[in-house]
């Protein structure tokens, strides 16, 4: 049976046209990335046995609440890898360069949860029981965005990978511990390489069929959810994360929408679109303009008061 079974003919043709680009980007990725091993970054000498009857106490947490929230959300997001793999393989297939990329991406993503969890277990920075219960709840629910087509997926995963990189990097910057900082930095480096693959394959998609890509981009921009949606008590964690400036609407607008959607993909400059795509282009640009105003207010508010609590969604 064809591994493209179930993929509409138009999407199969679209992926076939882009496969040489995917192969080139995969080669670039393999050249640019460097091998690393999670076990070498974990401070094992700081670990000890969990005695029978052990109960975690907040006094063991040397990290601020917002950093622990970020680590909790970041790790459980990484734990959801099986569901992300399922959807990415569904969108791009198992064959050729696309399949090679999907498997390579999955292998690299898999070590992120290993490194972060080992660090948190050894240092006892987070309640291990709450963390495991969160993992069970998150993975039992299996909630991940499910882009309907490869074009939607390219747009979404580009933003998702960059958002995840930003969140990991900003979290690491707030950890006053060199081991934790190094782990989050290394994970963020991986995420950046993944982002570059998806950004550039999407760029090729915009060159190949700009109308299709603009129509796919609109819902992914307007409905984008902060990494970690579906995690237990996510709203409370997201509020702390936003308050700390790790990830919020201002970060999303200034570091994703402006540099990627507006500048790199050049949304406003795309021409020759179908009437439907032109309408989607206008709606997306209007949303981004609104996002810019909200982001500016949030940035100003944070500068004025450390008590600001930004949200990810524009009202």
How far apart (Å, rounded) are the C-alpha atoms in residues 131 and 117? Answer: 9
pLDDT for the residue 142: 86
DSSP 25-83: HHHHHHHH-----GGGTS-GGG-----TT----GGG--S-HHHHHHHHHHHHHHHTHHH
Mean pLDDT, the chain, whole residue set = 92
Query: Percentage of the chain surpassing pLDDT 70?
Result: 93
Give the rounded distance of the alpha carbon of 268 from its chain centre.
24
| 5 against 77, higher pLDDT | 77
pLDDT for the residue 300: 84
pTM of the model as a whole: 0.92
Query: Across residues 46-68, what is the average pLDDT?
Result: 90
pLDDT for the residue 254: 95
Instruction: Copy the structure tokens of residue 5.
Output: 């079974």
Domain contains 265: yes
Domain contains 52: no
Q: Burial, 94: exposed, middle or buried (Cβ in 10 Å; 0-12, 13-18, 19+)?
A: middle
Domain contains 4: no
pLDDT for the residue 62: 82
How far apart (Å, rounded) are the C-alpha atoms in residues 198 and 207? Answer: 14
How far apart (Å, rounded) are the C-alpha atoms in residues 147 and 274? Answer: 22
Question: What number of H helices and E strands is found in the chain?
Answer: 11, 0
Q: In whole angstroms, how far apart are CA 39 and each of 42, 73, 82, 136, 243?
A: 6, 22, 22, 24, 32
Instruction: Copy the structure tokens of residue 19.
Output: 């496969």
Domain contains 315: no
Domain contains 2: no
pLDDT for the residue 217: 98
Stated length of the chain: 315
Residue range 159-198, pLDDT digits in tens: 999 999 999 999 999 999 999 999 999 999 999 999 999 9
Instruction: Report the CATH number that the domain containing residue 275 is assigned in CATH.
Output: 1.10.620.20
Taking alpha carbons only, the member of 126, 119, 117 closest to residue 43 is 119
Query: Residues 313, 249: contact at Cβ < 8 Å?
Result: yes
| Domain tally, the chain | 1
Domain contains 179: yes
How far apart (Å, rounded) are the C-alpha atoms in residues 288 and 307? Answer: 26
Residue range 2-37, pLDDT digits in tens: 345 566 778 999 999 999 999 999 999 999 999 999
Q: How many C-beta atoms lie closer than 10 Å to residue 311's C-beta?
A: 15
Residue range 137-161, pLDDT digits in tens: 999 988 888 899 999 999 999 999 9
pLDDT for the residue 1: 31
pLDDT for the residue 210: 97
pLDDT for the residue 4: 59
Q: Burial, 59: exposed, middle or buried (Cβ in 10 Å; 0-12, 13-18, 19+)?
A: exposed
pLDDT for the residue 225: 82
Domain contains 310: no
> Phi-psi category of 230—alpha, beta or left, where left has phi over 0 and alpha has psi -120 to 50?
left
Give the rounded distance of the alpha carbon of 106 from its chain centre.
13
- Quickly state the pLDDT bin for 262 (edges 50, 70, 90): very high
Residue range 264-289, pLDDT digits in tens: 999 999 999 999 999 999 999 999 99
How far apart (Å, rounded) are the C-alpha atoms in residues 255 and 265? Answer: 14
Three-state DSSP at 94 gives: coil
- Domain of residue 124: give its range: 9-47+59-304
Q: How many C-beta atoms lie closer than 10 Å to residue 176's C-beta?
A: 11
Radius of gyration of the chain (CA): 20
Domain contains 256: yes
């Amino acid at each position: 049976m064809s591994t493209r079974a179930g993929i509409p003919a138009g999407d199969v043709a679209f992926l076939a046209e882009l496969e040489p680009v995917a192969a080139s980007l995969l080669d670039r990725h393999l050249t640019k990335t460097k091998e690393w091993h999670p076990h070498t970054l974990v401070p094992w000498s700081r670990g000890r046995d969990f005695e029978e009857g052990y109960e975690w106490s907040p006094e063991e947490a040397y990290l601020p609440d917002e950093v622990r929230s970020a680590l909790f959300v970041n790790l459980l997001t990484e734990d959801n890898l099986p569901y992300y793999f399922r959807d990415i393989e569904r969108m791009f297939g198992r064959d050729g360069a696309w399949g090679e990329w999907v498997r390579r991406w999955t292998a690299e993503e898999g070590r992120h949860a290993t490194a972060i969890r080992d660090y948190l277990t050894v240092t006892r920075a987070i309640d291990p029981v709450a963390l495991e219960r969160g993992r069970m709840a998150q993975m039992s629910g299996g909630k991940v965005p499910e882009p309907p087509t490869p074009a939607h997926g390219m747009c979404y995963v580009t933003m998702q990978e960059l958002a995840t990189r930003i969140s990991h990097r900003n979290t690491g910057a707030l950890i006053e511990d060199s081991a934790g900082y190094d782990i989050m930095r290394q994970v963020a480096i991986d995420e950046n390489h993944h982002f570059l693959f998806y950004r550039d394959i999407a760029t090729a998609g915009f060159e190949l069929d700009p109308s299709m890509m603009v129509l796919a981009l609109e819902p992914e921009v307007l409905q984008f959810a902060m990494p970690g949606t579906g995690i237990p008590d996510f709203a409370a964690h997201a509020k702390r994360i936003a308050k700390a400036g790790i990830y919020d609407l201002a970060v999303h607008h200034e570091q994703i929408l402006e540099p990627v959607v507006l500048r790199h993909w050049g949304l406003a400059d795309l021409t020759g679109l179908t009437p439907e795509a032109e309408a989607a282009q206008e709606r997306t640009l209007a949303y981004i303009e609104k996002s810019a105003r909200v982001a500016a207010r949030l940035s100003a508010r944070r500068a004025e008061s450390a008590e600001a609590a930004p949200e990810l969604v524009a009202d």
